[in-house]
């Protein structure tokens, strides 16, 4: 699965020290030390069963955006599949 591959491969981009601490400490633009966790991947998708016609592209984009937002709310690597139907089809 993509998330498993990403989780393994992304760690190779970090030094051993950062792998051990699961992230990087750095000074931000305000001069404060901030911890940045090792990068993660969030995927938002729309479920389509192939049996129904879709609404317009605005509705599809809205469902995709909602799925992306939900995926980003999950800690670490995540996949969120939006199973809602387009409003014009309900």
Per-residue pLDDT of the chain (90 residues; tens, 9 = 90+): 899 999 999 999 999 999 999 999 999 999 999 999 999 999 999 988 777 777 788 988 999 999 999 999 999 999 999 988 766 544
**What is the value of pTM for the model shown?**
0.75
Q: Where are the domains of the chain?
A: 1-38, 40-90
Q: Which residues lie closer than 8 Å to 61 by C-beta, 6 or more apart?
A: none
d(CA 68, CA 43): 6
For 70, the enclosing helix (H) or strand (E) is: helix 57-72
Cα angle value 50/78/14 (rounded, 5°): 135
């Amino acid at each position: 699965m993509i998330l498993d591959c990403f989780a393994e491969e992304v760690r190779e981009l970090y030094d051993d020290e950062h792998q051990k601490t699961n992230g990087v400490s750095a000074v931000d633009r305000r001069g404060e030390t901030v911890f940045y966790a090792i990068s993660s991947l969030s995927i938002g998708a729309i479920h389509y069963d192939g049996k129904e016609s879709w609404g317009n592209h605005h509705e599809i984009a809205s469902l995709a955006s909602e799925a992306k937002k939900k995926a980003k709310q999950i800690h670490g690597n995540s996949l969120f599949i939006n199973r809602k139907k387009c409003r014009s089809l309900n």
